[in-house]
Structure 1
Amino acid sequence: MKKPMQSSAGVETYEEPYRPQLHFTPESQWMNDPNGMVYYEGEYHLFYQYHPYSRQWGPMHWGHAVSEDMFAWKHLPIALAPDELGMIFSGSVVVDWEDSSGFFDGEDGLVAVYTSAKGDFQQQSIAYSVDRGRTWTKYEGNPVIPNPGKIDFRDPKVFYHDDSARWVMVLAAGQEVMFYTSEDLKTWEFASVFGAEYGAHGGVWECPDLLAFYVPGEENSKWVLQVDIGDGAAAGGSGGQYFLGNFDGKVFTADTAPEDVQWIDYGKDYYATQSFSDIPEMDGRRIWLAWMSNWQYANEVPTEPWRSAMSLPREVNVIKKENGRFQLTQLPAAEMEAYTGDIFIEKSVEIMQTTKQIICEQPSTPFKLEVSIPLDKKQPATFELFDNADAPGCEVKVNAEAGTISFDRAKMKMSSFHKDFPAVTTAPFDKSREMLKLLFVVDRSSVEIFINDGEQTMCNLILPENQSNYYISGKGSSEIHLKGEVMHSVWK
């Protein structure tokens, strides 16, 4: 048996059913939204919503882990715990390089901006760390933004806006976002509001993020405003949407029509997306990850002694399509390649039967599988992962005529734990291409699908039965090319 990630307490625990091998999980108990993601002095920091006394949501703390590559994580002690202002809800961390806050005696350090929540009363607070995030001091002047009379007023994401030489905060407020600005991270001024008539409004807006992207051939940066919704997402329940546009330091202006909804991910399990702040300019990437669950059933997913995992870190870009529209793309962070091992399949397969045929023996998870399907004849193709004579797996169907790919986990026996879990999720793809390209990253309890170089994605949890032999199967009427590689576990 393999040991898991290094424990802050020095305690060795061992693999449990469904424990991911590539994705971050807490050692035990409940986890939800990623918080405070920042790169500082050679480390990626991941804070997260954490209930240390239960596997269900409860009084929120900030859990904490660090990594050199966003895959192999070291658990650290709890960073922030509830106080007289309430629970510690979601937020962000920035590097105060010029000591604008005055917390660091002219040096630099980390400042956390988070929501203090007491019942339905939510305000924004800050804390700072002078020792690389290992310990935190809460600001004696909290809250820095008192509640202006709103029930939902939370999840501050902060960044420094060079052109206006001010800190900017984007904050979720009901079903819109509010922008604030500051010179010192302590005194904030309201700037603007966005979203009342834009996008999807099936549930409360949460966990916003705002990022600027350089697009080749474009004179100005393109801004992406990411916003999650608690219900009514593409696959049902919670999920994320994004808006393309421009930001002048105070006001975000969308390029798209108010009714135009663009989804971050078409799976059931990709929520509360947040990006790493302060990635060095010489690197230049935008990288984010999300909580891999859905509020419809998150409290009941049958794992122990932990509950919930984070998605893979994804490199995010904006491209300009031939039709002139801008498109968000997402692919696994390049650091994942360090965990790529032997090839277990690389061949072309002609699937002609109406009944499934075994393509190859499936390796022990995790693994990645690249699939190319010609679209010239618009022929269908179906794959099944975790296929076993005694245990149906999850099914991926390509409808070349309609330009859709669907993921079906309903036949998996353990999917029955909740009525909303055995779902079929569907994503569109550009059927005008000559070839459909799919990248599957399969872990012990999840499948992330990247479509056509990440133009669309689909992230879903799975709960395979504990079988020793699985197969990758297929059926349809198409010739496909497959390349599969085993992935090394990030557990030490």
Structure 2
Amino acid sequence: MIAVTSTTADTFRPALHYAARNTWLNDPNGLIHHEGVYHLYYQTNPLDSVWGNMSWGHATSTDLVTWTEHPVAIACDAEEDIFSGSIVFDRHNTSGFGTGSTAPLVAVYTSAYKTASARPGIQAQSLAYSLDGGYTWTKHPSNPVLNRGSADFRDPKVFRYESDAGSCWVMVAVEAQDFEVVFYKSHDLKDWELLSSFGPANATGGVWECPDLFPLPVDGDPENLKWVLTVNLNPGGPNDGSAGQYFVGDFDGTTFTSATTVTNGLQDPDRLGEYQWLDWGRDYYAAVSFSDVPDGRRLMIGWMNNWQYANKIPTSPWRSPMSLVREVSLRSTDGSWRLVQQAAANLAPYAGQTPSFNLGAVEISHGQHVLDGAAGSVQRIELALTPGTAEEFGLVVRGDGAQGTRIGIRPTEGLLVVDRRESGQTDFHESFASIDTAPIQATDGSYELALCVDRCSVEVFAQGGQVTLTELIFPAATSTEVSLYAIGGTAILNSLSVTQFA
């Protein structure tokens, strides 16, 4: 096994985010907290640093920051690639895979059948089980357990549904090309009954993938639960390429009913900004949640990349990191509901020896102003800003005077902006250099931003996590400056703090 920590040295390898040691990585799979350990499984190519030979990689953590990489958990073979899926703890041994007093972990995954198989071109759902806590896996000999004869039926997320009438397993999967989420139930994880379907709705600019369904209390009230259905799509995101959307409504054990649908059927291109997005950035995809997290917390993680340029990003020998793990909650706002996201891990133990940088209220004049003593390559930056006369104002991170990633507010337009056109290496793909935006409104006349800056990424949590925007960047190792800026006038910095991590 390989411990991947913040001391691992190369130009872009993240300090606070998981990346495989020397292979390709994409969708998170099989997320579960079991016996005190967080398990992160993920799509990997064990043989290369580009997509292919899809298998399940495996990493574990006890604190969601430091991850230990383990051998491939479920490997592809001559007949099938192992596509995305989920893991449940079958504590009552409903599947019969357990032995004696040992209850199994059961992986439900998509078999993408190859030409050499008896089902060439078909995607169907299969099982594997583990009796050692998730480190070794045995494929069910009667796979697949659910086959619709479809080439695009994939990404099962399974959970235990409890009601007054009893309990059962519920599977949420997709018919990707039909923009349709399908719901099934089972009592033993082997025999499945179709319940209902949902979609098309809202964003349909690309195939639907990697769904999830879970309840959340509204404003923390356990007596007021709503259900959240997340669906990732590629392409068709709000800033182009891959993205994830969500719907809020009710689930009665059979049917999900959305209360936040903007457009039924195929999307209206003019209403893309009205849909509810998990993240407005270019690099947060295939996000799903962990099962069995203590204290009822709902934690999610996404693949930090975009299918437009995923195979081309300039990292070697690894390719693609995961996002930070995020805790999500549900807040009522303006007669509807909004997901609020915050970094889930306690990062304080990983702060470096460099003292934090703090700055009180100052006016930001037109231009760019380097903050002496704030430079760094791995940082958490928190700041509050109040508009003045400037048309745009904010912060430049990972800068060197001529380059940097600009993160700012355009108050008149109501936009949060991330400009990575001068963020370092951008010419590896024609679509990478970009200005990406998200809608944002002032709260009591000001804006609050929390930024997690790592060696190849920026995650922006705005207005207490009501808006998030995630971007890969590839700056030079020497590009570490932090600057304030304003364009066309002035603004007020109310406060700023910088914590260094490496």
Answer yes or no: same fold by TM over 0.5: yes
In structure 1, the residue matched to 2:493 is 480
In structure 1, the residue matched to 2:258 is 254
Q: 1:104 aligns with which of 95, 98, 102?
A: 98
Distance in 2 of aligned mates of 1:352 and 1:82: 55
In structure 2, the residue matched to 1:10 is none
Aligned partner of residue 338 in structure 1, secondary structure: helix
Alignment pair present for 1:214 and 2:212: no
Please report how far the alpha carbon of residue 468 of structure 1 lies from its aligned counterpart in structure 2 after TM superposition. Answer: 6.3
Q: 2:408 aligns with which of 386, 389, 397?
A: 397
CA 1:171/1:24 → structure 2, altered by over 3 Å: closer, same or farther? same
In structure 1, the residue matched to 2:126 is 125
Asked if the contact 1:376/1:434 (under 8 Å) is kept, the reply is: no
User: What is the letter of the counterpart of residue 303 of structure 1?
Assistant: T
Give the gaps of 5 or more residues in structure 1: 8-12
Q: Tell me how large the CA RMSD over aligned residues is.
A: 2.1
Q: Tell which deviates more after alignment, 452-461 or 474-483.
A: 474-483
Distance in 2 of aligned mates of 1:18 and 1:362: 20
Please report how far the alpha carbon of residue 85 of structure 1 lies from its aligned counterpart in structure 2 after TM superposition. Answer: 4.2
Please report how far the alpha carbon of residue 221 of structure 1 lies from its aligned counterpart in structure 2 after TM superposition. Answer: 1.1
CA 1:29/1:232 → structure 2, altered by over 3 Å: closer, same or farther? same
Aligned partner of residue 169 in structure 2, secondary structure: strand
Aligned partner of residue 367 in structure 2, secondary structure: coil
Asked if the contact 1:21/1:365 (under 8 Å) is kept, the reply is: no
TM-score normalised over the length of structure 1? 0.92
Distance in 2 of aligned mates of 1:401 and 1:387: 26
Equivalent residue runs for 1:357-436 within 5 Å = 357-375=369-387, 380-389=392-401, 391-431=402-442, 433-436=444-447
Q: Tell which deviates more after alignment, 308-317 or 326-335.
A: 326-335
Aligned partner of residue 416 in structure 2, secondary structure: strand
In structure 2, the residue matched to 1:277 is 291
In structure 2, the residue matched to 1:266 is 280
Q: Deviations over 1:17-53 (max 9, x none)?
A: 1000000000011110000000000100000000011
Distance in 1 of aligned mates of 2:388 and 2:341: 26
Distance in 2 of aligned mates of 1:297 and 1:101: 41
Alignment pair present for 1:296 and 2:271: no
Distance in 1 of aligned mates of 2:387 and 2:10: 41
In structure 2, the residue matched to 1:44 is 38
> What percentage of residue pairs aligned between the two structures are identical?
41
Give the gaps of 5 or more residues in structure 2: 115-120, 264-273
Distance in 2 of aligned mates of 1:352 and 1:334: 32
Asked if the contact 2:24/2:49 (under 8 Å) is kept, the reply is: yes
Q: 2:72 aligns with which of 75, 78, 82?
A: 78
In structure 2, the residue matched to 1:241 is 245
Asked if the contact 1:380/1:397 (under 8 Å) is kept, the reply is: yes
Please report how far the alpha carbon of residue 15 of structure 1 lies from its aligned counterpart in structure 2 after TM superposition. Answer: 1.2
Q: Deviations over 1:216-260 (max 9, x none)?
A: 457441111000001010110011000000001111000023425
In structure 1, the residue matched to 2:59 is 65
Distance in 2 of aligned mates of 1:183 and 1:241: 30
Asked if the contact 2:357/2:499 (under 8 Å) is kept, the reply is: no
In structure 2, the residue matched to 1:145 is 146
TM-score normalised over the length of structure 2? 0.90
Q: Deviations over 1:329-356 (max 9, x none)?
A: 0000042333245543211253443221
User: What is the letter of the counterpart of residue 411 of structure 2?
Assistant: A
Asked if the contact 1:207/1:274 (under 8 Å) is kept, the reply is: yes
User: What is the letter of the counterpart of residue 242 of structure 1?
Assistant: Y
Alignment pair present for 1:6 and 2:3: yes
Distance in 1 of aligned mates of 2:127 and 2:246: 27
Asked if the contact 1:98/1:107 (under 8 Å) is kept, the reply is: no
Distance in 1 of aligned mates of 2:287 and 2:111: 20
User: What is the letter of the counterpart of residue 291 of structure 2?
Assistant: S
Distance in 1 of aligned mates of 2:443 and 2:390: 10
Distance in 2 of aligned mates of 1:413 and 1:256: 39
In structure 1, the residue matched to 2:173 is 171
